Amino acid sequence: MLITLSELADKIPDGAQIAVPADYAGIAMAATRALIRRGAKNLHIVGVPTSGLQSEQLIAAGCVKTYESSALTLGEHNPPPAFNEAVAEGGLNIVDATCPAIHAAIQASQKGAPFATLRGIIGSDILKHHPDWKVIQNPFNETEDPVVAIPAIQPDVALFHAPLADRDGNVWVGRRRELINMAQGSKTALVTVERITNDNLLENEELAAGTLPNLYIGGISHVEKGTWPLAFWHGESEDGDHIRLYKSMAKDLAGRAEYMEKFVFGKGSPS
Whether the ω angle into residue 79 lies within 30 degrees of 0, i.e. cis, is yes
CA angle 235, 231, 94 (to 5 degrees): 145
pTM: 0.96
Which position has the higher pLDDT, 1 or 18? 18
Residue 270 has pLDDT above 80, yes or no: no
CB-based contacts of 121-128 (< 8 A; 24+ apart in sequence): 121/148, 122/146, 122/147, 122/148, 124/98, 126/96, 126/97, 126/98
Q: Which residues on adjacent β-strands are paired with residue 95?
A: 68
- In SS3 terms, 134-186 reads as EEEECCCCCCCCEEEEEECCCCCEEEEEEEEEECCCCEECCCCHHHHHHHHHC
At 32-60, the pLDDT tens digits run: 999 999 999 999 999 999 999 999 999 99
At 74-106, the pLDDT tens digits run: 999 999 999 999 999 999 999 999 999 999 999
At 197-245, the pLDDT tens digits run: 999 999 999 999 999 999 999 999 999 999 999 999 988 899 999 999 9
Domain ranges of the chain: 5-97+155-263, 115-151
Mean pLDDT of 184-195: 98
Top CATH class of 5-97+155-263 equals alpha beta
Residue 271 has pLDDT above 80, yes or no: no
At 122-161, the pLDDT tens digits run: 999 999 899 999 999 999 999 999 999 999 999 999 999 9
Residue 112 has pLDDT above 80, yes or no: yes
Report the pLDDT value the prediction gives residue 34, as an integer from 0 to 100: 98
At 64-81, the pLDDT tens digits run: 999 999 999 999 999 999
Report the pLDDT value the prediction gives residue 266, as an integer from 0 to 100: 87
13: left (phi over 0), alpha (psi -120 to 50) or beta: beta
Residue 258 has pLDDT above 80, yes or no: yes
